[in-house]
Structure 1
Amino acid sequence: MIEGVYVGWEAVRECFSLDPAVAYLNHGAFGAVPLSVQRAQQRLRDEVEADPVRFYSVGLTERVAHTRRHLATFLGADPDASALVGNTTIGVATVLNSLDLREGDEIVTTEHGYGAVRLAVEAVCARTGARHRTVPLPLAPTDDEVVAGITEAVTGRTRLVIVDQITSPTARLFPVARVVAALRPADVPVLVDAAHVPGQIPVDVTALDAAFWTGNLHKWAFAPRGTALLAVSPEWRERIRPLVVSWEQPAGFPANVEWQGTLDYTAWLAAPTALFTLRTLGVEVVRAHNAELAGYGQRAVAAALGGDAPTGAPGLAMRIVPLPGGLAGDLAGAARLRQRIADELGVEVAVNPYRDRGLLRLSAQVYNRAEEYDRLAQRLPGLIATLA
């Protein structure tokens, strides 16, 4: 038993349909949906199939708007300045689609950014002639290093800065409010990639005052996969171009972003049940439990590998453990190692390359137990030895 971890979590495991033979230590990848939320979504699917015309034709936009108000309020965002989207990557793509980029313009990201976002930026730059500038940062940068690195990379041609609130491959908490404030005098818009924020840490989107903020609710807020929010500042709302033009185009933002005809809206409509589940368990209690357990897992695995791990932010439920040099140093190698850990050890983890070195990322959620991290710590060195 870990000090500070509530003993009742063993019973909570029964609220999920995860395979008991697998230690699922990778909640940060795709989340895990509680049974209560699965059932709520299934009832909505049954409603669709009972009368599809009625479901899509009578009051659906109002139901989506009601859900958006519920989720936005939880995140401290303005419901009328937010739109539901399928995931953070779609939120980023929507913002990129709304920029009038020209040859020589620049988009700034950091070395800690998510791979799919990097690919999206590179694609829009290739199409428009804009330039992608990547800010190099240490594995465990200080807040001052993050702010200085980004601000020094900004030029008179910078049209957008994308910064992670919680970085995906490196599990760092970045000072996004400071970045936004530092760039405000230069009138450079900031897009906050908050894929891992909703549910994991407290957030007040309005107070951040970024031009754009987008985060998933299907990771740490128990929502069905395909549920995310894109918040947009007042000066940008009229300029948002949806990725799909639909019958709600004349309505403008946010309805023109949300409505995509026969999209499966049941994930969004079931999301309030997810927040109810989270609140029932106790939002702060869950956060404290997850952060404590993630720290325990990081220490156990790092010690087993004979090394130290970067100190993570106290409130994060994701931690990283650097792997031995030369292991999983690229995407292909990281994918192979992750699969071997899953197949041979029965443990799901994330493995990401960073500067030619692999990083093992561990997550913690209410269904996890300390013994699962201990099992990984005991068996991972033997697996790695076979790769030497």
Structure 2
Amino acid sequence: MSVPQPPEPVPGARLLFSLDPAVSHLNHGSFGAVPIGVQRAQQRLRDEMETNPLRFFTQGLIDRITHTRRHLATFLGADPEGTALVGNTTTGVAVVLGSLGLRPGDELLTTDHGYGAVAFAVERECRRTGASHRVLRVPLTATDEEVVEIVRAGLRPGRTKLLIVDQLTSPTAKLLPTAAIVGLARERQVPVLVDAAHAPGMLPTPVAGVGADFWVGNLHKWAYAPRGTAALVVAPPWRDRIEPLVVSWEQPAGFPGNVEWQATLDYTPWLAAPVGLYTLRSLGVERVRAHNAALAAYGQRVVGDALGVAPTDLPEPDGPSVAMRIVPLPPGVATTLDAARELQKRIADRLATEVAVTSWGGRGWLRLCGQVYNSPDEYDRLAVRLPPFLAAA
């Protein structure tokens, strides 16, 4: 099988970012990259705030946040009245967990493709409330139908108080059939929280059609927003039950205002986020998605070939616009979380390449992303340099 052709570059896109040109940034999925225009918009907001802090915080800020929320929610395909802006996905997860009223005997259900910090949050809530945590094992090669059947067998109606499932998994870059899972869980009266950290900007209207009780996703990854911008979407039956992590003067307003308002929080990332959407639309939303997905597929293939991985052993993400791909590392490499972190650091230091290295299923994996500021030669260079680097380690 031949290596897929890389996509045509998006003209001028690289100049929109202030990334170090001496480094290959192939890990957009971890912290994103904020376009220069968005950085400047946020700085203007910071300047406004510091020119007169009292005026900034007390005269119209809540209305500005509300207007921004409506703009971002519409982009996501969400109900603005059921959407709250939060700092990141894990903050939204914490809000939901703290609002469930868990008791001893209750159960939280996740899959083994979940994000590590979310697992930590679940474990902490279980320690605090006496609930239990159970993990469903989902094979990397499972089809959508097989994933749904695994979830079906794992639900315990009456005991399972929340199922947390990723829309697009972080460690394995696998697109899960969230709409089908939510429909199945609803039949059994089990609420679902969709962890959609990577969905905004990458997947079209990722909230619409899913129907989850709770959905939370970051806009500072693939939607070009400043870091610290995420959305928590809550279905109508749950909105009156949501409790913020910090009680503020907006507590009487209820959701979403009581979650959003935290006194002297820096709200400039949220207010600048629509400029990120403007940047995305200026480049062409569908064009960016197609480019990024094709580039990630190219990178996966050339690096996989260099490491001797058969094309059939390169996991497919199961979605046409998924801009993250994983490559299995040689046996014995990065088999633990600590080893994965150390290898990621050494690749950054010695190969001037930022990637994600994860440990999942007892094996090390290299996660590569595609973004408009990347070029095929960055993956080609990694393909040439990585095998001898690993062999010498």
What range is the shorter-chain TM-score in?
over 0.9
Q: CA contact under 8 A between 1:140 and 1:172: conserved in structure 2?
A: no
Q: CA deviation at 1:291?
A: 0.4
Say if 1:2 and 1:38 are closer, same or farther in 2 by CA, change over 3 A: farther
Please list every run of at least 4 consecutive aligned residues from structure 1 whose deviation after the TM superposition is greater than 3 angstroms: 1-4
Q: 1:69 maps to which residue?
A: 70
Partner of 1:360: 366
1:147 matched residue in structure 2: 148
Q: Give the 3 Å change call, closer, same or farther, for CA 288–261 of structure 1 in structure 2.
A: same
Quote the residue 2:217 is aligned against: 215
Which ranges in structure 2 are unaligned for 5 or more consecutive residues? none
1:312 is aligned to 2:317: yes
> Would the alpha carbon gap of residues 179 and 93 (structure 1) be closer, same or farther in structure 2, given more than 3 Å must change?
same
**Is the CA contact 1:2–1:370 (under 8 Å) kept in the aligned structure 2?**
no
TM-score by length of 2: 0.97
What amino acid sits opposite 1:311 in the alignment?
E
Specify the alignment match of 1:386 in structure 2.
392
* Cα contact 2:199–2:206 (8 A) shared by 1: no
SS of residue matched to 2:124: helix
Q: TM-score when scaled to structure 1? A: 0.98
In structure 1, the partner of 2:337 is 331
Superposition pairs for residues 75-114 of structure 1, below 5 Å? 75-114=76-115
Q: Residue 164 of structure 2 corresponds to which residue in structure 1?
A: 162
Pairing of 1:1-388 with structure 2 (within 5 A): 3=5, 5-9=7-11, 11-155=12-156, 156-308=158-310, 309-313=314-318, 314-387=320-393
Q: Is the 8 A contact 2:248 2:262 kept in 1?
A: yes
Q: CA shift at 1:2, angstroms?
A: 7.3
Q: Deviations over 1:53-99 (max 9, x none)?
A: 00000000000000000000000000000000000000100000001
Within 2, Cα distance between the matches of 1:312 and 1:280? Answer: 27
Matched pairs, number: 386
Q: CA deviation at 1:140?
A: 2.5
Partner of 2:96, secondary structure, is: helix
Offset of residue 128 of structure 1: 0.9
RMSD across aligned C-alpha pairs, in angstroms? 1.2
Structure 1 spans left out of the alignment, 5+ residues: none
Q: Distance in 2 between matches of 1:133 and 1:203?
A: 30
| C-alpha distance in structure 2 between counterparts of 1:91 and 1:152, whole Å | 27
Q: Is the 8 A contact 2:4 2:297 kept in 1?
A: no
SS where residue 207 of structure 1 aligns? coil
> What SS does structure 2 have at the residue aligned with 1:205?
coil
Aligned partners of 2:192 and 2:212 also within 8 Å: yes
